[in-house]
Amino acid sequence: MGQAEQRAIARRVQQELSAELEALYRSVFDRMSQEHLGEGAMARLTQLILRSRDGALSPLQEAIGPASMPDDPQDEPPRDP
């Protein structure tokens, strides 16, 4: 398996994990909205969950970065002159 293929697989796995985490956090917020929590407790829990979400997703999104084009010279190995 070549490096380009390995990078593509790693990127796909990262994207899938990111999407799964987004869905998980949406589900948590949906459940929270159905609980009978006071305003203060809801605010504290919301902040805690948002910090958790940011900590989980930010590194993945940074690693994924913008989609590179197949003809991107950065994806090619250096050439000897």
Q: What is the pLDDT of residues 58-70, one digit of tens each?
A: 998 888 887 544 4
Question: Among 22-36, 47-61, 63-77, which is the least confidently predicted range?
Answer: 63-77
How far is Cα 28 from Cα 57, in angstroms, rounded to an integer? 15
Which pair of tokens denotes residue 66? Answer: 């913008």
pLDDT of the residue at 3 = 92
**pTM, to two decimals:** 0.68
**Structural domain boundaries in the chain:** 3-63
Residue with tokens 């605010």: 43
* Residue range 36-64: mean pLDDT, rounded: 93
pLDDT of the residue at 69 = 42
Inter-CA distances, 78 with 47, 65, 71, Å:
46, 21, 14
* Residue range 12-30: mean pLDDT, rounded: 94
Which pair of tokens denotes residue 25? Answer: 């956090």
